[in-house]
Amino acid sequence: MKKSVILTGLRANNDLHLGNYLGALLPMVELQKKYAGKYQINLFVPDLHSFTTPIDHSKLYDQSLNNLKLFVASGLDLADPDTYIYRQSFVPAHSEMTVILNCFTHFGELGRMIQFKDKSSNKENVSAGLFDYPVLMAADILLYGAKYVPVGQDQTQHVELARDIGIRMNNKFGKDLLQPPEAEKDQITFAGQNNRLRVRDLSNPDKKMSKTNDSDKGVIFLTDDPDTAAKKVLGATTDSVGVINYDYDKQPGISNLLDILSALTNKTTDEICKIYVGQKQYKDLKEATSEAIKKFLTEFQTKLNEVDEKAVLGKLSASEEVMNKVANATLLKVQKAVGLRQA
């Protein structure tokens, strides 16, 4: 590949939500616009990652396609020749590369992964797939020599592990075997992650909005009925302080609403705060945010319904053909290096 690669993806095991839209979908669309012609963008559906935790397997295939439609509805340009969309499982090299990389990854490294600790805590049965998730992610990255991997804060440790594994393989088999991703500091600077909005759960604002939450009460899904979503906002957990302040330590629920309203009305947080900070009732802020949510979902779902499925499938097929060639070439280099193929 001639251009440096930006790689990203979102699990397709559930409907995506407002936090995904503001924290991942929109930033990826903005990156595409900003770096058009300068970088290659690999936007993939990590469908193999999707069942490292329990899911409804009967819905996975359709959810994978819908995941891509959501990107298009968010503004992704399918006509961009440097953008590739593909499903992880449709490129078999991901699986074989993972098996090989497992043998050069330390058990202790995987045991220290924060995501594994969080998702496995208080669980009676935890899959080996969840434990091994970061190695599959390393394969996703290293197969394409991805330079930048925009991820949420909870995934930065995995990107660093991919870098460590790549460097380890290069030290053992030759410095040109794999191209590791950039270091964490450079990743954050490139993707502007310090400024990325992290939407909180409406019912429990101490936690981020997550599609794996047991209750949907505090999650605004992109497929929610707009009126239903507006009611979720009106019922959002706030506090007993009695005055609006922008303070995530003392008033996370109120601060979350201020940020959501800012993002959906294209106003800065400072502009929103000038309107609401100091008010002694929360009603006006909740109503304004609920109306903004309702308007956003109505417009977004209209765009989603207008997405040309044939165009998505055509781009998907063409991209998967190209990605198989690229991934297989990298896999062959690694197979030769470890002695599975004749050098």
Residue 14: domain span = 5-191+308-338
In a domain, 220, yes or no: no
pTM: predicted TM-score of the whole model, two decimal places? 0.90
Out of 34, 123, 207, 211, the active site residue is: 211
Out of 119, 295, 333, 336, the active site residue is: 119
185, 104: one domain: yes
Average pLDDT over residues 131-148: 96
83's CB contacts (< 8 A; 6+ apart) are 32, 40, 41, 43, 76, 77
Tell me the CATH number at 256. 1.10.240.10
Is residue 250 among the annotated active site residues?
no
Mean pLDDT of the chain: 92
- Report d(CA 6, CA 8) in Å as an integer: 7
Q: Domain count of the chain?
A: 2
48, 137: one domain: yes
- Report d(CA 187, CA 150) in Å as an integer: 7
In a domain, 20, yes or no: yes
149, 248: one domain: no
Out of 59, 208, 231, 336, the active site residue is: 208
328, 278: one domain: no
163, 295: one domain: no
User: How many Cα atoms occupy the beta-carbon half-sphere of 44 within 13 Å?
Assistant: 30
Is residue 119 among the annotated active site residues?
yes
Under the banding of pLDDT at 50, 70 and 90, the label for residue 214 is low
161, 273: one domain: no
Q: What is the pLDDT of residues 50-75, one digit of tens each?
A: 888 888 899 999 999 998 999 999 99
Under the banding of pLDDT at 50, 70 and 90, the label for residue 36 is confident
Specify which residues 9 forms β-bridges with: 44
Tell me the CATH number at 55. 3.40.50.620
81, 138: one domain: yes
317, 261: one domain: no
Residue 116's pLDDT is: 81
291, 320: one domain: no
Cα-Cα end-to-end distance for the chain:
22
In a domain, 204, yes or no: no
In a domain, 76, yes or no: yes
Is residue 117 among the annotated active site residues?
no
Q: What is the pLDDT of residues 148-183, one digit of tens each?
A: 999 877 788 999 999 999 999 999 998 899 999 999
Task: List helix spans (H) across the chain.
Answer: 18-20, 26-34, 60-73, 93-102, 107-111, 114-120, 128-142, 156-173, 184-191, 226-234, 252-264, 269-276, 283-305, 309-338
Under the banding of pLDDT at 50, 70 and 90, the label for residue 119 is confident
296, 167: one domain: no
270, 317: one domain: no
